[in-house]
């Protein structure tokens, strides 16, 4: 089969899998609702059982959408970072972007309460996206500048770790000065979850992820050229400074806003691009970006299903699940690098 038609078949099958896990996610839960009713509600129909309808619309659908779009956005953002840094272990979590977004949110929630605003009210809409994105952009720039000086796999990991450490220290200091209520809000947020989002907030997230993905797709050409390294990219006619600033903005907004809503979610952004490169056997960002959307969506939907394992009332932190799945991937990449 020609590579192109092979990729189309692969893409269609993966999309089918995505639809399947998405519906499965809504189907499974502590209250069992028949498939037929779930589908009826999803396509906007009416069902007799009002409780079921509420469970689907108010709780399961937002969580499922959050998982889908968080997975997609984080993976696209990870793909861009790996190309920008020319480093296979770059990703929103490893680079400390999630930590940066946490800091933004922490400063926002905790400081707002110090000035007498209600933090519950603040946890919605654009304000939190802005706070998290600002934090993400600042940390990303710091990281990016350091990486210009020393760029190898281990150095990036260590710097990400150090930045993460420094930030948690800052956050701990902030916490000692904040009210109990805002502290609780913040701690819940850090667990990482697709559950605390309502349909209204989902709207913001979907818009940002969709825009970010389109933006990223539009950056395919510069991203492909950056694979060659800076010098070749410039000699191929790329305005490199402009391209890099655009990529940094795009990736920080994606990672920052997703972290704002779902909390820090580790390793998805790192692992999914590698899965996509291996599946589609390409380095072309025109193909990899949509591939990351679909595969990232599948992975996060699956993680969400594991986290809210059917029948149990207590949900596991999503961050724990993704880290358990993702950490071995990082080790695999490092071992593979040594062989080359």
Partner 1 sequence: MLKAENIYIGYEADKPVFTIPDFSALPGDMVALLGVNGIGKSTLLRTIAGLQKKLSGNLLLDDRDIQSLTPVERAKLISVVLTERIFIDNITVRDFIALGRSPYTDWLGRLSDEDEKEIEKVISVMKIEKLQNRMFNQLSDGEKQKALIARALCQQTSVIILDEPTAFLDFRNKREILNLLRTISNELKKIILFSTHDIEAALQHCNKFWVMTEEKDFCEIDSGPGSEAEVKSKLKI
Q: Which stretch binds partner 1 (CB under 8 A): 62-70, 133-141, 142-150, 225-233?
A: 225-233
How far is it, in rounded angstroms, from Cα 226 to Cα 84? 7
238 binds partner 1 (CB under 8 A): yes
335 binds partner 1 (CB under 8 A): no
237 binds partner 1 (CB under 8 A): yes
The nearer residue to partner 1, 158 or 214, going by C-beta atoms, is 214
- Structural contact between residues 140 and 97, judged by C-beta atoms closer than 8 angstroms: yes
Q: How far is the CB of 85 from partner 1 (least distance, A)?
A: 13
Phi and psi at residue 252, to the nearest 5°: -70, -40
The nearer residue to partner 1, 278 or 331, going by C-beta atoms, is 278
Residues 6+ apart with CB under 8 A from 96: 139, 143, 159, 160, 161, 163, 164, 167
| Residues 83-102, interacting with partner 1 (CB under 8 A) | 88
The nearer residue to partner 1, 4 or 176, going by C-beta atoms, is 4
6 binds partner 1 (CB under 8 A): no
227 binds partner 1 (CB under 8 A): yes
State the DSSP string of 265-326. --SHHHHHHHHHHHHHT---HHHHHHHHHHHHHHHHHHHHHHHT-TT-SSPPPHHHHHHHHH
Q: How far is the CB of 3 from partner 1 (least distance, A)?
A: 8
4 binds partner 1 (CB under 8 A): no
231 binds partner 1 (CB under 8 A): yes
Of 82, 86, 89, the closest CA to residue 330 belongs to: 89
Q: How far is the CB of 285 from partner 1 (least distance, A)?
A: 9
151 binds partner 1 (CB under 8 A): no
For partner 1, the binding residue among 235, 310, 312, 332 (CB under 8 A) is 235
331 binds partner 1 (CB under 8 A): no
Residues 6+ apart with CB under 8 A from 293: 72, 75, 76, 213
Residues 6+ apart with CB under 8 A from 43: none
Local structure of residue 227 (DSSP, 8 states): T
For partner 1, the binding residue among 126, 177, 203, 232 (CB under 8 A) is 232
Of 264, 270, 280, the closest CA to residue 332 belongs to: 270
Of 281, 336, 326, the closest CA to residue 74 belongs to: 326
116 binds partner 1 (CB under 8 A): no
Q: How far is the CB of 279 from partner 1 (least distance, A)?
A: 10
The nearer residue to partner 1, 142 or 153, going by C-beta atoms, is 153
How far is it, in rounded angstroms, from Cα 218 to Cα 240? 15
236 binds partner 1 (CB under 8 A): yes
Q: Which stretch binds partner 1 (CB under 8 A): 11-19, 149-157, 196-204, 224-232?
A: 224-232
Q: How far is the CB of 294 from partner 1 (least distance, A)?
A: 17
The nearer residue to partner 1, 186 or 280, going by C-beta atoms, is 280
Residue 86: half-sphere exposure toward Cβ, Cα within 13 Å: 14
Q: How far is the CB of 278 from partner 1 (least distance, A)?
A: 7
Residue 237 falls in which region: left (phi positive, over 0), alpha (psi -120 to 50) or beta: left
Q: Please calculate the CA angle 71-324-20 and round it to the nearest 5 degrees.
A: 40
Chain residues that interact with partner 1, rule: CB under 8 A: 3, 88, 217-218, 220-221, 224-225, 227-229, 231-232, 234-239, 277-278, 280-284, 286, 340
């Amino acid at each position: 089969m020609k590579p192109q038609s092979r990729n189309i078949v692969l893409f269609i099958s993966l999309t089918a899998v995505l639809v399947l896990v998405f519906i499965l996610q809504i189907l499974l839960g502590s209250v069992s609702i028949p498939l037929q009713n779930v589908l009826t509600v999803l396509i906007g129909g009416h069902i007799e059982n009002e409780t079921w309808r509420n469970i689907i619309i108010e709780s399961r659908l937002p969580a499922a959408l959050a998982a889908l779009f968080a997975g997609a956005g984080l993976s696209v953002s990870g793909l861009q970072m790996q190309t920008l840094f020319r480093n296979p272990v770059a990703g929103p979590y490893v680079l400390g972007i999630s930590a940066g977004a946490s800091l933004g949110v922490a400063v926002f929630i905790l400081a707002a309460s110090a000035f007498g605003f209600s933090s519950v009210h603040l946890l919605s809409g654009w304000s939190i996206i802005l706070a998290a994105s600002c934090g993400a952009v600042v940390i990303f720039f710091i990281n990016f500048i350091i990486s210009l000086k020393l760029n190898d796999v281990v150095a990036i990991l260590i710097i990400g770790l150090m930045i993460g450490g420094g930030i948690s220290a800052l956050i701990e200091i902030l916490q000692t000065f904040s009210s109990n209520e805002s502290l609780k809000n913040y701690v819940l947020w850090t667990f990482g979850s697709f559950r605390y989002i309502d349909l209204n907030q989902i709207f913001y997230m979907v818009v940002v992820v969709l825009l970010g993905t389109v933006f990223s797709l539009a950056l395919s050409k510069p991203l492909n050229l950056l694979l060659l390294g800076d010098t070749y990219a410039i000699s191929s006619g790329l305005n490199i400074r402009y391209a890099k600033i655009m990529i940094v903005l795009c990736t920080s907004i994606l990672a920052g806003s997703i972290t704002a809503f779902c909390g820090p979610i580790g390793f998805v952004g790192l692992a999914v691009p590698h899965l996509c490169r291996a599946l589609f056997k390409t380095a072309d960002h025109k193909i990899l970006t949509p591939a990351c959307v679909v595969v990232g969506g599948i992975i996060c939907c699956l993680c969400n299903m594991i986290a809210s394992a059917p029948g149990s009332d207590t949900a596991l932190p999503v961050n724990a699940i993704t880290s358990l799945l993702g950490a071995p991937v990082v080790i695999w990449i490092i071992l593979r690098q040594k062989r080359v």
